[in-house]
Structure 1
Amino acid sequence: METTHLADQPPFPPQQRVRRTGWRALGLPALAAGAGIGAVVLLHFRDPHVEGSYGICPVYGLTGLYCPGCGGMRAVHNLTDGRIMDSLHSNLLAVPLLIAFAVFVGDWAVRAWRGEGPRVPDLPRPLMWTVLALFLVYSVLRNTPWGSWLAPV
């Protein structure tokens, strides 16, 4: 007959993760959506075109160069006013990234309702490096005379 000693047993029984479904599972996706909507509403009512309303971009303040995010808040403000072309002119990347965020949070909410976790895309390395290179080219181009049309307004 085998005996087990208390030292051989784990101090606590293993916890089983309870999967939440339905309304109870929507907490984190709703929090992310609320934060995004809150930021968009703030940018709609407090105009970033007014000098000093949000401060300055640290990259622009230190180097005088536009980073990939410069003009992003103005782009969202223009988008909430229905001025799509002005939004794209302020920051060409802001609108697609805003759409991607909305799609990600929407998909996360649907998956959470079903009791699944968020879908984290498994992007191949060449695609990640390509996206990084595009951001770098965009940053360099918008700081040259040839890409002045990409500079935030």
Structure 2
Amino acid sequence: MAVGAVAYVGAVDPNQPGHYPTCPFLLLTGLQCPGCGSLRTLHALAHGDVGTALGLNVLTVAMVPVLAFFWARWAVARARGVPTRRKAGDPRAIWGLFAVVVVFWVVRNLPFGTFLAA
């Protein structure tokens, strides 16, 4: 499903109006959420344009390899018949990721953080 979703975003350009809905947070507040620009980022990555992707949402670019690693680890475990983990993991890592997302969210909406907002 993930490959299909990325293939769809790669084929249907999110830069063209009318293909995808507007971010509800952006629509209601005028501020960008941590995910704003992610569809355009994935579209750029699908076309090999890493520079544009980094300019749109650096957090998404940073998280793609992390998510790919965890997905691959899960897929290998499932293929081998090994039980997959049910625990979320180390709470410090989860809270650390949460803190990174919140800081990214706040900074990209401040005047000096406009380079993070696409």
Residue in structure 1 matched with residue 43 of structure 2 by the alignment? 77
1:130 Cα deviation after fit: 2.1
Unpaired segments of 5 or more residues in structure 2? none
Unpaired segments of 5 or more residues in structure 1? 1-34
Once the two structures are superposed, residues 38-77 of structure 1 have per-residue CA deviations (whole angstroms, 9 ceiling, x without a partner) of 1111111110011232020011011111000000000000
AA partner of residue 50 (structure 2): I
**For the Cα contact (< 8 Å) 1:108–1:117, is it kept in 2?**
no
What is the percentage of aligned positions where both structures have the same residue? 37
The answer to which of 121-130 and 76-85 deviates more is 121-130
Residue in structure 1 matched with residue 19 of structure 2 by the alignment? 53
Pairs within 5 Å for 1:112-131: 112-120=78-86, 122-131=88-97
AA partner of residue 6 (structure 2): V
TM-score, normalised to structure 2, is 0.90
Residue in structure 1 matched with residue 73 of structure 2 by the alignment? 107
The answer to which of 41-50 and 122-131 deviates more is 122-131
1:88 Cα deviation after fit: 1.1
1:89 Cα deviation after fit: 1.1
Residue in structure 1 matched with residue 30 of structure 2 by the alignment? 64
Q: Give the helix-richer structure, 1 or 2.
A: 2
Q: RMSD over aligned Cα, in angstroms?
A: 1.6
TM-score, normalised to structure 1, is 0.71
CA 1:123–1:112: 2 relative to 1, 3 Å: closer
Q: Which SS does the other structure have where 2:58 is aligned?
A: coil
Tell me the matched-pair count: 118
The answer to whether residue 64 in structure 2 is matched with residue 98 in structure 1 is: yes
CA 1:84–1:131: 2 relative to 1, 3 Å: same
